Structures are given as structure tokens and as C-alpha cells.
Amino acid sequence: MDKSCRGCKDYSAHQYWDRMHNRKKRFFKLMLGNFKNGVTIPEKFVRSVGGKISELVKLETPDGNTYNVQIAKELNKLVLRSGWSKFASSYELQDGDFLRFKYNGDSHFKVEIYDPSACEKETSCVVMNHNPGPPKRGAPHDDPMLSPEGERLAKRHNGCCGDICKTSKMNAAGSPLKPSKAKKEAPSSEDARSSGELQTSTRSRYFLATGCNLTEAHKVEVNRIEQNIRPEIPLYAKTISSASLVDGFLAICKDYAIEHLPREDEAITLCHASHSKTWVVHYKINADGTYHLSAGWSGFVNDNELQKGDTCVFEVLMRQRSFTMAVHLLKTRYHHPPGFAASSKSLRPEAKSFRPEDKVRLSRFVTLEGLLKTKVYEKVKAIKPEIPIFVSIMSKTNVSGNNSSLAFSLDYANDYLPGQDQNFRLHRPRESAPWKTQFRRFASRRWLVRGWNQFVIDNELKLDDVCLFERIENKKKLRMMVHIIQKEDYC
């Protein structure tokens, strides 16, 4: 391997092990020898997640079962011990079986089991449902056109070993699998606040995401859409927040996801209501019980020019080869993405005039003149921020050397930044992964220090380039979107 190829390999290894999110990492184990009493977790994997594996881990299989397994440290290695033998016997693990572990964060692994034929073991994938009534989507026997042999096996299964099957596969708490309900009870007011609210009336029926306060105009549009298409599954309405634009994922209410979306991670298709264009987006079920549209969501956001305050109305399409949702886009302003048909009731822009000069704070010794002033004000006018944008022109201190840093002006920091040290995430438009930096207070000044240099390198910042820092609303984490105007664009 020549030097250039070696460099590519080293860079790829660095990106995977050091920068990739832990939840994207996987490892496999081949069942050989004395594996029924325990298996080791690869040391390289343990190091890559910073040793953040607790003494108790959860193993979840495609059939929905979860097993608690204790971790033992033996000869400086982490070994799956207490609880592993039960897992191994439940799925009749044998020599030559191949297990793929996908880390889901919080010491939770999703485990796929393959036999020596290189295909998944059927018993690890099929949900044993002994309840009467029609099964829900994703449950076994959901094909309305079962073959005669399939019908015979289904009848045999339903009557042969109900109690045995129910008790042989247990959940993490050691209790039998709960039967799925044919009809879901209406959520209480508290449940509705925590996970979404189903809006019903004689004329409209849709699911409103948590914290989604539709404007009167958007309510009219959602009702119009529902009346026009009369969907078999309730629509799901979600107003776009700043976090939905920059975090690279869209949160889905738990109640809606459980009732109407796939039961496991799956690549789903999003399309315009006109079916003019499609996007493949990864639907993710997280260990903490949250549901997201993740990989691919940023592409959908960018292609449709989504902005804060826009509303997406998701319609589950039936009788498709893959799980597909049509997205009806309700915009807050006049701009419309390709494929979006504006109705005669298009929303009007805000009547109040916007003054970009009122939404700009400058770093020390910075003045805006000539073309630079025009460029900055145009950018701010396009963003329409609620919190003023901080503008800084890059100096040698900001872009030179391994110890480069950036200081915020005293007035901006006092008004809009926290007083204590904490981690700080920087985002760039059309980039899903943020840059992690450290926000520090020295004397009366606030600085971005560790991590800022990597941001400078990755974005090729140079002397006299201009950075516009837009504070993103997020109660849990300090985040900023950084817009860049290069020197050659205004000089």
C-alpha cells in the first residue's frame, strides 16, 4: 500500500473510531467452543466507546425480546456472563452461529443472529403472538394471502404451545411478552402532553406532535388535506423547530410511532404529495424509547428548503412495496421547494418589517462597511433570527496555530450566553454532524477554545473571513449555527 492509500486508511480509521457517534458502531462474534457460558466484548470496541459500558447490558433481538446480561471483568476483558446462558439457550445458539451486535447507546445492544447457512435464525425474528384478532402491521401472519401450508402452520402454532412459547422468551424484567391490543385506548391528558395528541372531530382526524402549535392558517390547511384524501391512517403533523433543522434528525411522537410506524429500524421513503420526488430516510428506534427520522433527514430538509415554523404533514401510504410516507409541506413564507404546489390559501408573510441592523452584534474592533455590510445584512435578513447574530471577522488569533480560539463580545455574552463553562456545539448549514467545542469564561470574556481549531481546519477558515453565529434554541445544549462569508466574496 503506498503512502497516499495508507493516509486514506488512517483517516478512515480516525473518523470511524474517534469521531463517529458510538451508536453507529458494531461488532460481531462467531460462536465457537465454550460460548454458552459467556462471550467477550472486543477490546477495540470497548476502547472506542470510552469504556462507557455499565455492569448490566441489555440485548434486544428482532423479535422484540430484551435480556439483561451482567458484565464481568476477567483478565482485563469485559465478558457477557450472568444472563448470557439464558439468552444462548432461548435461541439455541450452536457452533457456527454468527451474532452481530449493534450498539444503541446506554449499554444497549441490538443483536442479529445468523446460523451457518448465513441467514438469520427464524426464531430470533418472529414475534410469537397468541392473541385472537387480526395482528398489527409487522406482526407474524400479516400476509392476507397465506399459502395452504402457511395456514396449516399458523393454525398449528396458535394451538400447540401457547403457554410454553409465552414463558420461554421473557423481556428484560422477566415477565412474559405483553399481548398487543387490537384497539388502543385513548391517551390521558398527561399522556397526550408527553407524547402527542390525537385531534378528532366529525370533520377532521390527525395526530399533532408534542409542542406543535399550529397557526390558524395551518389548521385550515391540515383539515383541507385530511378532507381531500381521507387517509386510512391518521395524518401526523409536526411544526419544524430549529433543532429539527440542524440536529440531523426529526423526533416522532411515541404513541404515533408505536401505533402506525415500523416496529424496528428501517429505511423508509418520503415523497411529495405529488410523488414527484422521493427521499430514503432511516427510521430509528432508540434505546431510550424515542423515535426519530435520522440519516437522510438533512437531505430532505435541504432539498425542500425547510425553515423554522414550517409544518410537515405526514401521510402513511398503503399498499406500497416499501414503507412510504407522503409529506405535505405548509410553508410560513412565500418560498416553495420544488414539487410543492402552493394553494390559493398560501400564507402571507409577516406584516411587521424586519430590520437586519437590529439583529446584529459585532465583535470588538469590527465595523461593517461597503459590500461586507450588504452581504452580512442580506444573510441576516434571510435568516430572520429571534436572537441577534454575533458577527466576527477572523484574525490571526482565530485561525492560526493549534491554540486558536474565538472570543465573544462582552455585551453579547452577557445578554445571550451562559455564565458558566460548558460544552458547545457548532453547526454548519447542510452539515448534519456538529463540531464539539468548549465554552470557557476567562475574567469577563467568554471564549471558544478546545475544538475551535478543528472547526477552523474543517471549514478552511482564513484571515478576514467572516463568521455569523446564530444561537439555536435548545434548552439542554448550547448550540450555534455558523454562517461563513469568505474574504473574496466581499473584497
More confident position, 171 or 297: 297
Q: Is residue 32 predicted with pLDDT exceeding 60?
A: yes
At position 112, the amino acid (one-letter code) is E
DSSP 388: P
> What pTM was estimated for this model as a whole?
0.35
HSE on the CB side for 76, CA within 13 Å?
3
Considering the chain, what percentage of its residues have pLDDT values greater than 90?
18
Tell whether the torsion through CA atoms of 261, 263, 264 and 267 is positive or negative.
negative
Residue-wise pLDDT tens digits, 200-237: 433 446 777 766 677 778 888 888 888 887 887 888 88
Domains of the chain: 20-168 (2.40.330.10), 191-330 (2.40.330.10), 356-489 (2.40.330.10)
Q: Please give the Cα distance from 5 to 2 (Å, whole number).
A: 5
Q: Please, are residues 453 and 404 in contact by the beta-carbon 8 Å criterion?
A: yes
Q: Which three cell numbers stand for residue 318?
A: 398503503
Q: What average pLDDT does the segment 270-297 reach?
A: 84
CA angle 57, 38, 106 (to 5 degrees): 10
- pLDDT for 152 equals 52
- pLDDT for 127 equals 57
